[in-house]
Amino acid sequence: MREVAIVAAGMTRFGELWRSSLRDLFVEAAAEAITGAHADRVDAIVVGNMSGGQFVGQEHLGPLMADHLGMAGTPAIRVESACASGGAALHVAFLEVASGACDLVLAAGVEKMSDGADVTAVLASAADQETEVYHGITFPGLYAMIARAHMAAYGTTEEDLSWVAVKNHRHGALNPKAQFRREVKLEEVMASTMVAEPLRLLHCSPVSDGAAAVLLCPLDQANRYTDRPVRIRASALATAPMALAERKNPAVLDAVALSAERAYRMAGLGPDDIHVAEVHDCFTIAEICCIEALGFAERGCGKVAAREGLTALGGRIPVNTSGGLKAKGHPVGATGIAQAIEIFEQLRGEAGERQVADARIGLAQNMGGSGASSVVHILEGE
Amino acid sequence: MPSPRYWREIPSRYRLEALRCRGCGTHIFPARRICPGCRGTDFERSALSLHGTVVTSTVVHVAPEDFTMQAPYAVAIVETPEKARLMVQVVDCDPATVKPGMAVALEFRRIRMEGRGGILCYGHKAVPAA
């Protein structure tokens, strides 16, 4: 396999972007990446999108987006793995370049969630329709069950969950692209509306519109497009049983651990080598479970990381410096690419007020459903 | 909406019919074609016991459209003595009392009335064990 680099990135703001359609968002992010690399064509386009069909009634996004980029004729496909669609699209783009099939590939994620669809119902289609959704469970409900299992097994508290939101909002306040550029107080989080016990509104990521795009090429061609390429050291996927009831321990995200194990092996690195990470905090409990599965904390010990500042900017391993899904926003299909962009900017020293000093190796972890799919990328700067 | 999807699920929804894998003994609910434990395909029919224990749970306050009239309601993962796990609502009690470790019985109930067509959907719910 060839070594692969990310050479350019583009991203919209995240938020309720009522003036922009699905295709507007995609083109804005993709064109920024292509222009940034001074490229006039790409060999292939991979679109990460969870559910254009259900959110805005639009499927067949490959040719649609190629056309709207003025690139009709270019091979283009859409990749779906629920909320991990962006990470999965990046994985496919990586394989296309690593295999030698293509030399310049655009991987772009997009989601338009605020156009009036029943967002709860659409997101629930990433859970098991026959055994879970049938009985009235929601996505916050599934993660609430994960949270209660974690609380019962490891003594995690509602306050521990709330500190993750406080930390990620503090980071998001520094990110010009974030949906919520404001801090929240612990008391506000703990007094917010109950959604599914023990998860409250401020434990949940928001409904967002947005798009994010990166350009990939072989490392040995990267200097045609940039003088600061970021190398993809690993790209790994894993799955776990779809229904939460089928997992041996609902407090443990097996797919995340497995995808991390594969990525670490591929890169020849371990959790101690990571300087900065973006993890899939769709709910605050998810960040706690993910940092345990990624090896940044021992199993059952992730609960103290945000409160004690280990995962805050300036801490031992800063997690979700972008604000995470919680504060930056979570346009589901775009999230995996946006995470990679935060790491890309960190490794190039372009993260502004959020910059982690001397960050050279970073990790992005993107998850689908209640943890049934997970994608991990490890990136390395110059 | 014409719904063969409902009648084909009757054995598992109405009778909690499961399969027992002859290869590894795993009880599989609802039935599948391949055992998730050993990938075996040789099964015998079994029925789940109508009782079990709560593994984990939540109380849904913001509910899907078909369930808004029921909120807040408890949903739990219940493990039967056969080690099969199923997700069900827990009713006939204060939702706040539903916690991991709680003993429950499984009863045949109406789950919801679906959408505008008003199809009645049945299945099992848990109630506190007597």
CATH of the domain at A77: 3.40.47.10
Q: Which residue has the higher pLDDT, A11 or B5?
A: A11
Give residue B117's pLDDT. 80
Q: Which of A296, A263, A262, A301 is nearest to A279 (CA)?
A: A296
Cβ within 8 Å of residue A130, ≥6 positions away: B9, B30
> Based on the domain organization, do A307 and A217 belong to the same domain?
no
**Percent of chain B whose pLDDT exceeds 90:** 82
A248 vs B: CB within 8 A: no
The verdict on a CB contact (< 8 Å) between B123 and A120 is no
Specify the residue for token string 């009392």.
B97
> Based on the domain organization, do A171 and A96 belong to the same domain?
no
pLDDT at A256 over 60: yes
Instruction: Give how far A134 is from chain B: nearest CA, Å.
Output: 8
- Summarize pLDDT for A358-380 with one digit per residue, the tens: 999 999 999 999 999 999 999 99
Any idea which of B3-7, B38-42, B66-70 has the lowest mean pLDDT? B3-7
| Contact indicator for A152, B100 with CB cutoff of 8 Å | yes
Structure tokens at A332: 């589901």
* B contact test, residue of A120, A132, A137 with most B CBs within 10 A: A137
Q: What integer best gives the mean pLDDT of chain B?
A: 93
Instruction: Give how far A26 is from chain B: nearest CA, Å.
Output: 29
> Based on the domain organization, do A344 and A286 belong to the same domain?
yes
Specify the residue for token string 């092996």.
A265
Q: Residue A327 class from Cβ within 10 Å (0-12 exposed, 13-18 middle, 19+ buried)?
A: buried
Give residue B1's pLDDT. 40
Give residue A101's pLDDT. 97
The verdict on a CB contact (< 8 Å) between B56 and A241 is no
Q: What integer best gives the mean pLDDT of chain A?
A: 97
Give residue B130's pLDDT. 82
Rounded CA-CA distance A356/A346 in Å is 7
> Based on the domain organization, do A69 and A39 belong to the same domain?
yes
Give residue B7's pLDDT. 81
pLDDT at A142 over 80: yes
Rounded CA-CA distance A55/A91 in Å is 24
Among chain A residues, CA nearest to B57: A145
Domain housing B85: 4-128
**Percent of chain A whose pLDDT exceeds 70:** 100
Q: Residue A273 class from Cβ within 10 Å (0-12 exposed, 13-18 middle, 19+ buried)?
A: middle
**Percent of chain A whose pLDDT exceeds 90:** 99
**Helices first, then strands: H and E counts in chain B:** 2, 8
pLDDT at B111 over 70: yes
Tally of structural domains, chain B: 1
> Based on the domain organization, do A164 and A300 belong to the same domain?
yes
Domain housing A360: 123-202+233-380
> Based on the domain organization, do A226 and A166 belong to the same domain?
no
| Minimum-distance CB partner of A138 among B60, B77, B88 | B60
Q: State pTM to two decimals.
A: 0.97
Q: Which residue has the higher pLDDT, A209 or A382?
A: A209
pLDDT at B3 over 80: no
pLDDT at A242 over 60: yes
* A contact test, residue of B61, B65, B116 with most A CBs within 10 A: B61
Scored b (16 or more CB within 10 A) or e, B3-30 reads: eeeeeebeebbeebbbbbbeeeebbbbb
> Based on the domain organization, do A136 and A42 belong to the same domain?
no
Tally of structural domains, chain A: 2
Rounded CA-CA distance A87/A350 in Å is 22
Catalytic residue list of A: 83, 330
- Summarize pLDDT for A288-344 with one digit per residue, the tens: 999 999 999 999 999 999 999 999 999 999 999 999 999 999 999 999 999 999 999
**Strands A209-218 and A4-11, bridge-based pairing:** antiparallel
> Based on the domain organization, do A241 and A297 belong to the same domain?
yes
* pLDDT band at residue A139 using 50, 70 and 90 as cut-offs: very high
